[in-house]
Structure 1
Amino acid sequence: MSNTATFNDERPDPHDVFRADPRRAAGVEYRRAGRSGLLLPPISLGLWYGYGDDRAFQTQRDVIRYAFDHGVTHFDLANNYGPPPGATEENFGRVLRKDLRPYRNELVITTKAGWPMWPGPYGRLGSAKYLLTSLDESLERLGVDHVDIFYSHRYDPDTPLEETIGALHAAVHAGKARYVGISSYSAERTEEAIAVARRLGTPLTVHQPSYSLLNRWIEAKLLGTLEEAGLGAAVFTPLAQGLLTDRYLGGFDGVRRSGTRPTLPEAALTDATLAKLRALNAIAERRGQTLAQLALAWVLRDPRVTTAVVGATSVEQLRDNLSTLADLSFTEEELAQIDEHATEAGVNPWVASSEL
């Protein structure tokens, strides 16, 4: 059966009834997002890539169900995730209707707006018109009356922060979002956004920045800013879009990379980067971990990081990621060894270099 036929088939299989594992939360050490009341799993499932109409619906469904059955309560989306834009929210909404509706109160569903979504002047960046219109459309695609976190997906230099953050404030007061946050804002812009949100009376709860062994920009100032203000950090691309997995250890030639999302810049795929990956993998092997597990454990070593958002697109990948939680501790010697090789590799396109 083709993917198109699969996607158009809304009839539930009467023999495929999902009943969540009653032990799903056992042993999961949920982390508090800053000083809020919100708890998130240490590893969350991000649906940026692999959950649009280019991937079989049943595959998506299997991963999402496996995640929930293993304590992953946080599912991270955005309005433009696909392809096409909006498809990921529609597909997650289908899983919600088929399988997870009885468990809605156990889920933290998030979405964002900021990157281009529709043509014309009102389908991008940070205006109230775009953010609030986009949120209404996201709720319709998801089939819910609210999301748990609504984010400004990126800083808009041409729209006053009072308007952008004011739209987040309005979303909460309209009952369409429980919490609000920002994504990929620099430390300076984050401080400004926090101040505006406080004046409005709807504090920001979470910041979602990129962070990995090869992309450490948040350590200089942003993590300290979040800690002081009481925000959690939900870090994305902790595996540097697959760079911090075993797929590249044999070299970069012949490795198929996605053409449906921003991909690794060629400037990052150097002999120097390959040497870093192989050195980090050697440390992982001595710890009895894969390179991906080392990378996830490392970002989670910092208590200011609430959760690592992973983009697993198969049950096997997610199982491997979740196995990381068996060992999150590091010796001082291991951290020192990692620091020798965990250096910038040009894999952060989300924050302008002038903002770092």
Structure 2
Amino acid sequence: MAASSPTILGLPASPNHVQGSMSSMKAIAPYLAMIVSTLAYGGTNILGKLAIERGLNCFVLNVYRHLIAMMIFGPLSYVLERNQRPPLSLSILMKIFVLTLFGATIHLNLFYIGLDYTPPTVASALSSVIPVLTFTLAVLFRMEKVKIKSAKGIAKLIGALVCITGALLFTFWQGPLLPGFVKRPLIIVQGKNSGHGSKHYKDDWIKGSLLIFIANATFSVWFILQAKVCEVYSARLMMNTLIGFFASLQSAVAALIFDRNASSWKLEWNLQLITVLYSGIVISGLSYYLQTFCISKKGPVFAAMFSPLNLVLVALFSAFFFAERLHLSSLIGAFAMISGLYMVLWGKSKESDEEEERVAKVLPSERNPVT
């Protein structure tokens, strides 16, 4: 009996149609993955701020969240990558250790310490430096090409500048205030630093911003190093398992040095536990894997360009739940960031199309060499 043909909406589908649909899904998968990852990071900025205000130690948070991620990735790697996982050498282990040190230990601990001094919106606004720093590093390491004479090269360059300009407008241009979405905050922060008008906030805003800037710089290095590691080790699940192991170990050492209070490790059924679970499952689990997937497919600059969207998401969340009023400059800056992001992604897409066409022309001659 002949095998039945695939159908779409009850109608027979040609192989070319099915193949085209699969190709389209593969093409948009990195974009969807980074949008989901950005949404997830917006949530952790809010939860992290609330939990730290209520006493959660940032080092302890990083230990727990990466232990959770390791327990998720370990079994998945054993089952799904058992027969195709490349061998681990000491060189690869050291590269993953350094990768973890920058992206999951230094970045996160500095970010959460800085978040203790700044509101989530400001912390997210400072993430606008990530695309520019990543783009600069990628050019220096010859991982990204900028062809000024081509439209796609100009689009990438101008898009990056427009994106960072929009983030600066969003953060520093205090235009007219817009009407608030809600009259009273739906979530009230009650903690040692609650209230943006407190003396603590006024005195330490610069300190917090500097810490978050350094954290974002290390995150840019994380994107570059991750692309390098993906070139020599393709097992993404095992890579993230090792990242979880090394990150929990490194943060545990930092916790023992900076906070030796045993009560800091105690978790109860409250917001702190929710933050740990969310950060472990959604961020260190899902988002880490999605980022690894996108970087291996599209490169570090592609993944970094979605960072400014985090600012828009956190600002809208803060407006609804914390009753923060947005400025007119916020809308202008958000529009500029999204426009700049689109320009860069357009340039990257055109480059990918040209690369696929070039490979398609080369492959037939390789498959059928002239004898």
Larger-gyration structure (1/2): 2
Normalised by the length of structure 1, the TM-score is 0.23
Structure richer in strand, relative to its length: 1
Structure having the larger proportion of residues in helix: 2
